[in-house]
Structure 1
Amino acid sequence: MTTTPIHYRHILFDWGDTLMRDLPGQIGPMANWPKVEAMPGAVQALQVLSTHYVCHLATNAKDSDAAEIRRALARVGLDTHLSEIFCFKQLQVEKPASAYFQQIVKKLNCSPEQILMVGDNLQKDIIGALEAGLDACWLNLDDAGNKQDIQQVNSFSSLTSWLLSKG
């Protein structure tokens, strides 16, 4: 039996240490930090991917609301490539809870299979999304061991190539 693959409509990106570096010693909203950094390759990847998919941010950050997150993203040129910001202050639940991802699916008005979650945290971002019925890709920048059968990439350029090869 052959099935037609579902093509992603939406990509959810984690924030801290996925799109932007979570700098040690910083407290409070990232928008107010003296220095912020995009992760290597993140800006270029989102420039390309946002022309093929609707890209969003999905974070557990508790110090920032959606407006503050967008201000931090603007400081590194990522804000214009992300449509929705899904955060703890909005959803009142954290990844990896299925309820977190279910609220996003409902707000995006699509099936879970049409959403890909990309993040650096295997348990919260990837396992949580998979258990909620979404697809997921582990952005394994440290090339940590993956004993599970989970899609992973070790750079944003690899992520972009993999996604564009899916058609």
Structure 2
Amino acid sequence: MFEVYLFDWGDTLMVDSKDTAGKMCDWSEVQAMPGAYEVLEKLSQQAKIYIATGASSSSADDIEKAFQRVNMSQFIDGYFCQDNLGIAKGLPDFLPAIIARLGRPQAAIAMVGDSWQKDMQPALLAGIQPIWLSQQAEVASYPAIRIIRCLNELCCP
């Protein structure tokens, strides 16, 4: 168990419909990923939960509104995005800026996401624990990365 979990947003905690334009908070329909509610509910009892997203057109308030629509905002302690950090996800300073704001040691922080390039590699470079949510049939084993197939595995190591 970590003190802090950073979660990617799209296709990690909420379904990112590639066919729908605009901010997720304004979509006619939004949907949580399977197990997301239960996992956040459980983890939030013992850890801080933050969203670390690359959603460039959404503010932290927009992101919170989307989470309110699936009744998960109550479990989230904060939202990090380009709007409030001034740094886009994927740039080398994105996660270090979040770590600095959190004021916690790197060993106490995990990054959970579905993208190797946008979540796992930056987490490794930032010195925090990467947890890769991967639906791929075959994934190479990386000793420094925990690989999970579904979010529920976060609560059952």
TM-score (norm 1): 0.88
Cα deviation for residue 104 of structure 1 reads 0.7
Partner of residue 154, structure 1:
149
Unmatched tracts of structure 1, length 5 or more: 1-6, 163-167
Q: For 1:144 and 1:88, how far apart are their aligned partners in 2?
A: 32
Cα deviation for residue 144 of structure 1 reads 4.5
* Alignment CA distance shift 1:42-1:15 (3 Å): same
Give secondary structure in 1 for the equivalent of 2:88: coil
Unmatched tracts of structure 2, length 5 or more: none
**Larger CA Rg, structure 1 vs 2:** 1
Identity, in percent, stands at 34
Cα deviation for residue 26 of structure 1 reads 1.0
**Number of corresponding residues:** 156
Query: Which letter does structure 2 place at the counterpart of 1:148?
Result: Y
Query: Which letter does structure 2 place at the counterpart of 1:74?
Result: Q
Partner of residue 8, structure 1:
2
Is contact 1:112-1:133 (8 Å) kept? yes
Q: Deviations over 1:76-104 (max 9, x none)?
A: 01101000100111112233333111111
Q: For 2:18 and 2:138, how far apart are their aligned partners in 1?
A: 20
Is contact 1:98-1:129 (8 Å) kept? no
Cα deviation for residue 156 of structure 1 reads 1.2
* Alignment CA distance shift 1:143-1:118 (3 Å): farther
Give secondary structure in 1 for the equivalent of 2:93: helix
TM-score (norm 2): 0.93
Partner of residue 26, structure 2:
32
Partner of residue 85, structure 1:
79
